[in-house]
Amino acid sequence: MPDIRIFPDKDALAAAAAELVVAQAQAAVAARGAFHFVLSGGSTPRALYARLAGAPYREQLDWAQMQVYWGDERCVDPDDAESNYRMARETLLAQVPVPPAQLHRMAGEIQPREAAAQYEHLLRQRWQRAPQFDLLLLGLGDDGHTASLFPHTAALDETARWVVPNYVPKLESWRLTLTAPAINAARTVVFLVSGGSKAVPLVDVLYGERQPHTLPAQLITPASGALLWLVDADAAARLPR
């Protein structure tokens, strides 16, 4: 059974997610001296990032031991309004003392194939068999996508690489994304899902027919790590009680 935690509204969801980040970070630093943290994009995580930048969470996090990554990125400049890096910088990273060398953004501004290869190289310098992210955040799109693993796109079938460029026809644009194998190697994967528009995709992903090419979030089945769904009441409206 999936581990689903339902919160009254998106603020309560953000507060619970902040508590989880702190707990995971403290455990990772205590055990291994670092916290490898993967941020997701879109709008849902904004409230979480803003909370982490302020009291009490800011003081509870050992920013100097944090290594920050992105689960996906739009192929745009880092200052572009669409950039997931820019969103995280504005809501969190510009306010906290993570050493700049520990902010590992995906290079959305260069050729997608080269950007993906660079990120893959970065990860493979650190891990040999599989990336061991401590906490990996994901969102859920209305169409069942997660990261930039969109329905019926090439990235869904990648089994070897950890990072790929992915052309998304419906957006008429390129994305960079961690692949399912890279995500599934994480120690803890957390979906943050908020809003009534996610109620149907959420129940389809969790309880519907298995059809990962149509509902890519179904590809996320961590090999040995934990998988949590933090959802607000609107997004949970269709879940079986």
Q: Which residues bind ligand 6PG (CB under 6 A)?
A: 40-44, 72, 84, 139-141, 145-148
**Contact of 186 with 136, CB cutoff 8 Å:** yes
- Of 67 and 177, the one with the shorter C-beta distance to ligand 6PG is 177
Q: How far is the CB of 89 from ligand 6PG (least distance, A)?
A: 15
* 110 three-class SS: coil
Position 152, amino acid = H
User: Token digits for 140?
Assistant: 């859920």
Q: Which is nearer to ligand 6PG, 44 or 218 (CB)?
A: 44
Give the Cα separation of 202 and 139 in Å (integer).
11
Q: What angle do CA 208, 70, 134 make, to 5 degrees?
A: 80
CB of 146 or CB of 218, closer to ligand 6PG:
146
Residue 128 C-beta: closest distance to ligand 6PG, Å: 27
**CA angle, corner 184, sides to 74 and 108, nearest 5?**
15
Contact yes or no for 169/221 (Cβ under 8 A): no
Minimum gap (Å) between residue 240 Cβ and ligand 6PG: 23
| Nearer CB in complex with ligand 6PG: 30/197 | 197
Minimum distance from residue 72 beta carbon to ligand 6PG (Å): 5
